[in-house]
Amino acid sequence: MLNPQVLQLLWQATLETLYMVACSSALGALFGLPVGVLLVVTAPGHILPNRVIHRITGVVVNIGRSVPFVILMIAIIPFTRMIAGTSIGTTAAIVPLTVSAIPYVARLVESALSEVDFGVIEAAESMGATPLQIIWKVLLPESLPSLVLGFTITTVSLVSYSAMAGAIGGGGLGDLAIRYGYQRFRSDIMIQTVVVLVVLVQLVQMAGNALARRLDHRHPS
Amino acid sequence: MPAHAASAAAAPQPILSLRDVEKTYGRGNKQVDALRGVTLDVYPGEIFGIIGPSGAGKSTLIRCINLLERPEKGQIFIDGVDVTGFRGRRLREVRRNIGMVFQHFNLLSNRTAAGNVAFPMEIVGIPKGERARRVAQLLAFVGLEEKADRYPSELSGGEKQRVGIARALAMEPRILLCDEATSALDPDTTVAILNLLKSINQRLGLTIVMVTHQMHVVRSICHRVAVIDQGRIAEVGPVMELFSNPRATATRRLVGEAAGIA
């Protein structure tokens, strides 16, 4: 059974995980969204075609996506120190989590925005909409349900990444599982931690799905 | 403004002119000539049809008018102004004076009927109150005041096209372009939409240019028609004259087909 002490540990670790995931997914979305938009609108035949920007952005995003999180986390320690003032702790972990989320979000935004029927974009062009108006009033609202699902996927991935961040002193549920569950052979705590993670992921996914469904008017309800 | 073809044809200044417009797609030996030197004039207040078999270049032609397609050669004049080279702000201003209705409606799926009609007014920054008033007027005009809060997915094809038409009229355009506006609709709905377009032409004196592959569409509402075949204008003239006395082969073929169906 759960004793109050373990419960306290779990609660603390859950809060830390929530803090890391909430901050990094919000920041990842904030920075990843414009990158994803850039990827879409600069593509050939789109509203602001630009081969050079499109290629460069694509390559940078791919590099970001291909570096394993554990390596990224260590590689950018100097950058993390610059931003967070330290490379250890929950707040410091937000930096590599955000950096790894940005290219991830960018690709998900790209795929969501590419789903928008080009006829609708042309209709807006035919009405004299500026490229910025097309982005704000057509591309983003029309793909909102897909964007919400994309952000949900990102958040879920960040929950598991945040557990890895725990391994280098980031705190949170991953840290708890390793320190108590693995290093001190407390498999009960290990299991309880995993249960909390599973519940967390379920809740995030359910909330995301529900929100996306509410926002979607593409099919008759 | 006179709404009848006869008086319109006598008007000195065309509202829209195309001069030797050429447009090709692709490159090298895969190059396709969509338009091979198209010249035509449309006069204020008329309903001008462009008909031809699929692949004749009619869609390309109508899309060149508001520069959704940019021709390689030739010029496009709106009210006597050469707009062919217009880009950016000047192009957007020209486009705001030209409404467009599409075959597949192209409505925003996450906006209601009212939201879709409001869209072009939002773009130019018309204040919310005035916007709402005009949206209500426009929806009433196309007979959809009851469906203002419905999303496109909850509307029938004909209703969607009415929203599309209301949206195209929102900026009080000088010209209305219809690109196969009835081709995705069933026969009864087609008739209703054509009647709506006709009444728009009569009540507002709005010039309408419509592309279609359906003879009966041209016959029921157009004043003049251009027959396009393989990227060229085969024949232009008043609808009755052209179809009772077809000279070009393409026109004869169209008349023959229509007779065969009827």
Question: CB B104 to CB A119 under 8 A?
Answer: yes
Residue B174 in contact with residue B13, Cβ under 8 Å?
A: no
H or E element in which residue B14 lies: none
Cβ contacts of A123 on chain B, cutoff 8 Å: 100, 102, 106-107
Kindly report, residue by residue over A1-34, the tens digit of the pLDDT.
568 888 888 899 999 999 999 999 999 999 999 9
Size of interface A-B (CB pairs under 8 A): 72
Answer whether residue B216 shows pLDDT above 80.
yes
**pLDDT for the residue numbered B57:** 85
Q: Is the pTM of this model over 0.90?
A: no
The predicted structure's pLDDT at residue B175: 96
Examine the pLDDT at B8 and tell me if it is beyond 60: no
**Cβ-nearest to B66 among A126, A144, A221:** A126
pLDDT, mean of residues B180-206: 93
pLDDT recorded at residue A186: 83
**Interval B147-161: pLDDT, tens:** 999 999 999 999 999
- Give the residue on B whose Cα is nearest the Cα of A48: B88
Residues of chain A found within 8 Å of residue B116, distances taken between Cβ atoms: none
Contact A142 B153 (CB under 8 A): no
pLDDT of residue B63: 93
List the domain boundaries for chain B: 5-97+175-261, 104-172
User: If we measure between CA atoms, which residue out of A21, A51, A8, A18 comes closest to residue A161?
Assistant: A21
Contacts of B92 (CB under 8 A, 6+ apart): A128, A129, A130
Average pLDDT score, chain A: 91
**Which of B17, B7, B49, B10 has its CA nearest to residue B208?**
B49
**Both structure tokens of B244:** 């009772």
Per-residue pLDDT reduced to its tens digit, B66-121: 999 999 999 999 999 999 999 999 999 999 999 999 999 999 999 999 999 999 99
* Band (B262; pLDDT cuts 50, 70, 90): very low
**Range A4-215: architecture per CATH:** Orthogonal Bundle (1.10)
CA distance B261 to chain A (A): 32
Distance CA B52, CA B37 (A): 16
Q: From the list B66, B108, B171, which residue is nearest A138 (CB)?
A: B108
How close is the nearest chain A Cα to the Cα of B259, in Å? 34
ipTM: 0.88
What mean pLDDT comes out for the span B196-205? 94
Q: What pLDDT digit, counting tens, does each position of A185-200 carry?
A: 888 888 888 899 999 9
Rounded mean pLDDT of B46-63? 89
pLDDT in tens, A138-195: 999 999 999 999 999 999 999 988 888 877 777 888 888 888 887 888 888 888 888 9
The Cβ-side half-sphere exposure at A24, using a 13 Å CA radius, reads: 32
Q: Give the separation between CA B214 and CA B52, rounded to whole angstroms.
A: 8
Q: In the prediction, which pLDDT does B10 show?
A: 53
- The residue-averaged pLDDT of A115-133 equals 95
Out of A107-116, A166-175, B135-144, B223-232, least confident range: A166-175
| A220/B154 touch (CB, cutoff 8 Å), yes or no | yes
According to CATH, what is the number of the domain B5-97+175-261? 3.40.50.300
Question: What are the residues facing B224 on neighbouring strands?
Answer: B48, B238
Residue from B25, B123, B172, B178 whose CB has the most chain A CBs within 10 Å, to mutate: B123
Question: By C-alpha distance, which of B231, B232, B226 is closest to B251?
Answer: B226
List, for residues A61-117, the tens digit of each pLDDT value. 999 999 998 899 889 999 999 998 888 888 899 999 999 999 999 999 999 999 999
Q: How far is A55 from chain B (nearest CA, A)?
A: 22
Residue B7, min C-alpha distance to chain A (Å): 30
What percent of chain B has a predicted confidence (pLDDT) above 90? 70
* Spacing of C-alpha A53 from chain mean position: 23
A108-to-A33, A53, A117, B46 alpha-carbon distances in Å = 9, 18, 17, 48
| Residue B31 pLDDT > 80 | no
The pLDDT of residue B261: 57
Chain B within 8 Å of A144 (Cβ-Cβ)?
A: yes
Taking contacts as CB-CB distances below 8 angstroms, the residues of chain B near A116 are: none
* Mean pLDDT, all residues of chain B: 89
Q: What is the pLDDT of residue A1?
A: 55
What's the pLDDT band for B3 if we cut at 50, 70, 90?
Answer: very low
For residues A206-221, one letter each, b for 16 or more C-beta atoms within 10 angstroms of the residue's C-beta and e for the rest, the string is eebeebbeebbbeeee
The answer to whether the Cβ–Cβ distance between A217 and B110 falls below 8 Å is yes
pLDDT of residue B2: 45
A122 vs B: CB within 8 A:
yes
Residue A117 with chain B: CB contacts under 8 Å: 106
Chain A residue numbers with beta carbons less than 8 Å from the beta carbon of B96 are 127-128
A26 touches chain B (CB under 8 A): no
